[in-house]
Structure 1
Amino acid sequence: MPGSLRAVSAALAAVACLAAAPGCGEASQARDGTVTLGFVNGASTEFHQCLQQAVEREATTRGARVVSVNSRQRPEQELANIESLIAQRVDALIVQTVDVEQLRTDIARARAAGIPIFLTSVMPDDLGGILGAVTVDQYQIGALDAGWVSNDAVGRPRTLGVIAGAPGAASDQVVSGLKSALPANVKVVATQPGMYNRGRAKAVAAAMIAQHPTLDYAFVANEDMAFGAAEAFRGSGKKVKIVTVNGTDEGLAAVKDGRFAATVANSASALGEKAVENVLDMLDGGRPNKITRAPMQLITRDNLTDAPRYCGA
C-alpha cells in the first residue's frame, strides 16, 4: 500500500477508536485504497449548486471520488442520506446541514460507524465529535446587513421586514445576527420564511407590503428570493430598500442598478474547495485548522469590484 494511503487508513482508524465505536479499525481495513467522500448537500439553490460543484471539482483535482446526495431541506432525508453513505463505506462525510438540531444525530451515526464527519457553513456547539468544519459566520452576515441599514436610517424611525430562508439552520443564525445588530430606531414589523424559493418569497413580500405599506427596508436571506421580493415591491409601487446575501453575478448586477441596496458576498466555491482540501489533508495525517472561517464582505455600489468570485473555478 502506498504511504499516503497507509496514512489515510491510520487516520481513519484513529478517529474510529476515539469515537469508541464497536469494531474499531475494521472499516479502514476493508477499504480498497480509493478515497471516497460522501457529500450531503442541503438544498438546490444556487449556493448549494455552486458548493457541490466546488466539492466535486476539488476532489477530482486531488484524486478523490465524491458521492453526492441532497436532503432537499428535510432533516429526516439528511439522516437517511448519511445512513446511505455509511452503508456505502465512504471514507469521510462532508455535510451541509439543513437543521443544526439534526447534527447531533448525524454526528452520532457517523461516530458509531467510525467515519469522520466534516461540516460546511455551520457547526455544533460541541466540536468533539467532528473532524472539522469550514464555516461562515452566519451571525456576522446578518450584522453586516444590519450595519448598512443602521447607517442609512441615521437615527430616524424606520421599519424592516424579514424574509428568512428555511427554519432550522443557517437562516435562523443570519436572522438572529441581523435582529441583534439593528439599532433601536429600526423596528422589525414582520418575519416570514421564503424557504429559499423565489416565487414564495415574492408572495411573502406582496403580503408584507400590503400589511405594512410604509415599509422602509427588507432583509431577504438570499439573492434569489430577493429578486422575487423586489418584483413584489415594484408591483406595489412602493420603494423598499433590500439587503440580502450571496454575491452572485446577478446579485452584484442588482446592487449596481439599485434593485438591491447591499449584499453580503461569501464565496460558495471557496467554501467547498476548502472543505475538501482540509478533509483530505486531515485524512493524510495533516493538521490544518479544525475550524476555518470563510471570508465575507458587505458589498454596495461603492465597492462592487471588491466582491469575491462566487461560483466556478
Structure 2
Amino acid sequence: MTATNRQSRLFTTLAATVLLGAGLAGCSTGGSSSGAETGDEATAVKIGFINGANNEWGTCLENGVEAAATAGGVELLVANSDTDAAKETANIEDMITRGVDAIVLNTVSVDAMTGGIQKANAADIPVYLVAVVPEDLSGVLGATVVDLPGVGALAAGWIAEDAGDQAVDVAVVAGAPGAASDYVVAGFTGALPESATVVAEQPGMFNRAKAQEVAENIIQAQPDVDYVFVLNEDMAFGVRTALDAAGATEVKIVTMNGTEPGLAAVEDGQFSATVSDSAADLGARSIENALALLDGSSSEKVFQMPTTLITADNLDEATAFCG
C-alpha cells in the first residue's frame, strides 16, 4: 500500500468516526483494545504507542495518550521499552506486525529511533515522535517536543543567577544515556557560566535508588560540590537523601518535571528549583497532533510544549504534571 493510499484510508476512517458518532475506544497496557465501530462499517484508526520509560513520567505520559485516544475514538495498542533500545526495536517490529495505522514513539535511544523509523517506513507506517525529533523530518509524520536543551539551559541559568560571580562546582545526575537525557545535559552544560565547573556527571537511569548510589559516590569524590542538577524529581529525592546522610545539607538541587511531590520539595527547600512541564499534556498533544496530520487537518509537523522554571517564589505557575 502506498503512503497516499494509506493516508486516504485513514482520512475516510476518521471522517466516518466523526460523522457516525463512533463510540470510545478502550486502552491496554502492553496489549490491544477494541476500536470503536458503528454497525459493521467504521473501524477506529489503530495507533501503536511505544512508551520509553516505566516510571512516573512514563505513566503520566501514557495517561495523556490514553485520554486523547479515548476522546478521539482511537484503537490504541500500548507497549513499554523500559529504557531498553533492543526492546524498543522489538516493540516497533511488533506494532508493524499487528498492522497499526501509525506509531507514536517515545524513544529511549537515537540509534534505536533511527532504525525504528526505517523499519516503519519500509512497512509504509508513519511514525510520530514524542519529546525527541531528528534534524531530518522527511522520514517522520511529525513530533511533539519539549525543548530539551532549553530545559537544561533554564536549570543552568538559575545556578548562574544564584551563584553570581562566585566559582562553583556542579555535579550532574543524568538519566539513561542515548536520547532525551543527552539533550538536556548538553543544554545544561553549554549554558553554565565560566565560573561553574562540572566536576562529575553520572547516569542515574531515572531510578531513585540508583541516583542515590550515584550521589553517594559523587559526594565522596567531590565533597566541595555546590550544586547538583538531577534529571527528574524522583531521582532528586534519592540524591537529597544521599547528600543529607553525608552532612552535605547545604548542596542545592536543581531538577525537572514539576510533579506534586517535587513542587512540595521546592516549597519546603529540599530542592531549590525545578523545570515544570506536563507529561500528560505531552502525551495528549502527541495523539491529537498525530491524528490532525493523518487526516490532513494540520500540516504543522513539529509542536513544542511549554516549560517553566519554578522556585518557591512562583509555585503557582507550574503546570499539572500528570493531568
Q: Same fold (TM over 0.5)?
A: yes
- Computed over aligned residues only, the root mean square deviation of the Cα atoms, in angstroms, reads 1.7
Deviation at residue 34 of structure 1 after TM alignment = 2.4
Q: 1: CA distance between counterparts of 2:228 and 2:77?
A: 38
Q: 1:211 to 1:80 in 2, by over 3 A?
A: same
Cα distance in 2 for residues equivalent to 1:104 and 1:97 = 10
User: Within 2, Cα distance between the matches of 1:289 and 1:266?
Assistant: 22
- Asked if 1:62 is matched to 2:72, the reply is yes
- Cα displacement (A) at 1:33: 3.1
Is this contact kept in 1: 2:168–2:197, CA < 8 A?
A: yes
Q: Does 1:76 align with 2:86?
A: yes
Picking from 54, 76, 81, the partner of 1:44 is 54
Structure 1 residue 181 and structure 2 residue 191: aligned? Answer: yes
Confirm or deny that 1:286 pairs with 2:315: no
Residue equivalent to 2:97: 87
Q: Distance in 2 between matches of 1:194 and 1:142?
A: 16
Distance 1:207 1:10, change over 3 A: closer
Equivalent pair of 1:100/1:123 in contact (CA under 8 Å):
no
**2:320 is the alignment partner of 1:309:** yes
Identity of aligned residues (%): 47
Q: Is the 8 A contact 1:139 1:177 kept in 2?
A: yes
Q: What pairs up with 1:224-235 in 2 under 5 angstroms?
A: 224-235=234-245
Q: Counterpart in 2 of 1:295?
A: 306
1:68 Cα deviation from its structure 2 partner: 0.4
Unaligned runs of 5+ in 2: 1-5, 13-40
Q: Is the 8 A contact 1:43 1:73 kept in 2?
A: yes
Q: Counterpart in 1 of 2:257?
A: 246
1:115-160 deviations in Å (ceiling 9; x for gaps) = 1100000011210010000001100000000000000110111101
Q: Distance in 1 between matches of 2:318 and 2:62?
A: 21
What SS does the aligned partner of 2:176 have?
Answer: coil
Q: Secondary structure at the match of 2:314?
A: helix
Pick from 266, 273, 281 the counterpart of residue 270 of structure 1: 281
Alignment match of 1:260 (pick from 271, 293, 298): 271
CA shift, 1:287, in A, is 1.4
> Residues 42 and 71 of structure 1 are in contact (CA less than 8 Å); yes or no, is this contact kept in structure 2?
yes
Offset, 1:288: 4.5
* SS of equivalent residue, structure 2 residue 198: strand
Q: 1:107 aligns with which of 117, 132, 136?
A: 117
Distance 2:229 2:173 in 1: 6
Task: Kindly tell me the number of residue pairs found equivalent between the two proteins.
Answer: 290
- Structure 2 residue 129 is the aligned partner of structure 1 residue 119: yes
Q: Distance in 2 between matches of 1:236 and 1:34?
A: 56
State the secondary structure of the residue aligned to 2:181.
helix
1:143 to 145, 153, 170: 153
- The one-letter code of the counterpart of 2:145 is T
Question: How high is the TM-score relative to the length of structure 2?
Answer: 0.87
**1:282 to partner: Cα distance:** 1.7
Distance 1:282 1:266 in 2: 24
1:201-232 deviation digits (Å, cap 9, x = unpaired):
00110111111111100000100000000000
CA contact (8 A) 1:103 1:124 kept: no
For residues 246-274 of structure 1, the C-alpha deviation after alignment (integer angstroms, 9 at most, x for no partner) is: 00011000000000000000111111111
Q: Which runs of 4+ in 1 moved over 4 A?
A: none
- Distance across 2 between alignment mates of 1:289 and 1:247: 28
The structural deviation recorded for 1:10 is: 5.8
Q: Report SS of the residue matched to 2:190.
A: helix
1:216 correspondence with 2:229: no
Give the letter for the 1:270 counterpart: D
Distance in 2 (alpha carbons) for counterparts of 1:186 and 1:137: 23
Residue 9 of structure 2 corresponds to residue 9 of structure 1: yes
